[in-house]
Amino acid sequence: MNPLLSQFGITAETGEHPVHSPIDGAQIGSVAYDSAAAIESKIAATTDAFRIWREVPAPRRGELVRLLGEELRTHKQALGRLVTIENGKILQEGLGEVQEMIDICDFAVGLSRQLYGLTIASERPGHRMMEQWHPAGPVAVISAFNFPVAVWAWNAALALVCGNPVIWKPSEKTPLAALATQSLFERAAKIFHGAPAGLSQILLGARDTGEALARDPRIPVVSATGSTAMGRALAPVVAARFGRAILELGGNNAMIVCPSAKLDLALRAILFAAVGTAGQRCTTLRRLFVHDSVHDRLVEALKSAYANLSIGDPLADGTLVGPLIDAHAFGQMQSALAAAREEGGQIAGGGRALTEQFPRAHYVKPAIVEMPGQTAIVRRETFAPILYVMRTHDFDDALARHNEVAQGLSSCIFTQDMQEAERFLAASGSDCGIANVNIGPSGAEIGGAFGGEKETGGGRESGSDSWKAYMRRQTATINYSDALPLAQGITFA
């Protein structure tokens, strides 16, 4: 590990909290958590940085993000490899995560010249109304292990061009990738000349560290990615001080396969979405609704494809499924499968794999579970490669069951019927934040806003106009006349 980490100027052994690789369960480093005094000092520094950074013109702020993107390009291979070692996703996905960071930097650089307001017609003569956007203030980012660096970039690139400092609490399971990313930011800031101290900082710690960020009134925006349970605990804390929470929480994502679907296309989409990252994506496919007329054919093809999946070391060429993050994740998967069996499910796969080669790691065979209906366990998200398959009789039946769950992140339909596709995307169709036709629920591009509804939290990150969440809106009226007319024709004299 040290040769890899040395490329970022960091070392593996710095504290008392061990870091393990899910690849083989071995300890790869240790980190020190920030004390309460250190947390206070860093939040104070972030507040000081805001006073300086908000005065820097947005296109100039964009130049810093451009330089960060260049550092990421230069170190894409090394950072992608570190993500894989610490997180367990296959190397192609580790590299893809870094590419997402590069892409959002490119997006944010262009955005830095497009933070547009509005000119609004005034009802009063000699007056002009306008709407403008100002930096909101320091932004806290609380990220999860499954995308240990990309989620920070989605938030940080936008927050920085919008004029805000960023303070980041990464997952306790993936601190080394976060430290490496911070090192690349510091290199970019050094080349930039003029970035204030405290513009980007990391807080290492457990739940109490995230709680400190959620409570602090000096941080007006808290972006948090994690479970619905985490969001349910954090959101009221932020709301109690009238802060703004950007929540990216659970996703119990589904696909509907219609009679006219191209089954070879659907099969490929199912595989990537259901087993990629070992089922540990926010957008992992977890529920599959298949029409009676194509059900048996598709399920048979799926079982054959699952039987031939390459499970193993995620750094090795050809591997498609790496390990679960830890023993807890494995236990959760086994509990879910036991519940599915009790509720009438027929299970193929799901057992532990490669125990002789990796006795301290938790590799599994992705599971296909044919369910008699959408039971309690199907409605509950399990962060593991479990695909629940259910028969449907018609489009209306499939859509109703698709929308029955509490989560609302990503969704998709496979059909060649234009009416079905359009109905799926209509106001009465999918109730998710992401709805796709003839592509799976995973692999979102940064150009679109990423996020979901219901218990997914309602937050939006990345593209489109997500930048507005990092700014405050101001309506301004200018009177350039010699009179003082009142709105609504009010006379006050």
> What are the residue numbers of the active site?
248, 282
Mark out the alpha helices in 276-406 (DSSP H runs). 292-307, 327-342, 376-379, 395-402
Pairing of the two strands 410-414 and 253-257: parallel
Q: Decide: helix, strand or coil at residue 443.
A: coil
Q: Mark 156-177 as b/e (b = at least 16 C-beta within 10 Å).
A: bbbbbbbbbbbbbbbbbbbbbb
What residues are paired with 388 via a beta bridge? 287, 369
Residue among 8, 15, 168 at smallest CA distance from 79: 8
Instruction: At 361, give phi and psi (nearest 5°).
Output: -105, 175
What residues are paired with 462 via a beta bridge? 449
Pairing of the two strands 139-142 and 221-225: parallel
Which two three-digit tokens encode residue 350?
């799901």
Q: Give the Cα separation of 272 and 285 in Å (integer).
A: 9
Q: Provide the CA 245 distance to its chain's centre, in angstroms.
A: 14
Mark out the alpha helices in 75-149 (DSSP H runs). 76-87, 91-111
Q: Which long-range contacts (CB under 8 A, 24 or more apart) does 310-314 make?
A: 311/353, 311/354, 311/363, 311/364, 311/365, 312/354, 312/363, 313/23, 314/23, 314/84, 314/88, 314/89, 314/90, 314/91, 314/94
Instruction: At 40, give phi and psi (nearest 5°).
Output: -60, -45
Q: Give the Cα separation of 166 and 19 in Å (integer).
A: 24
Q: Give the Cα separation of 375 and 372 in Å (integer).
A: 8
Helix or strand run (H / E) with residue 69: helix 58-74
Q: Find all residues with CB under 8 Å of 465, minimum gap 6, and list them.
A: 449
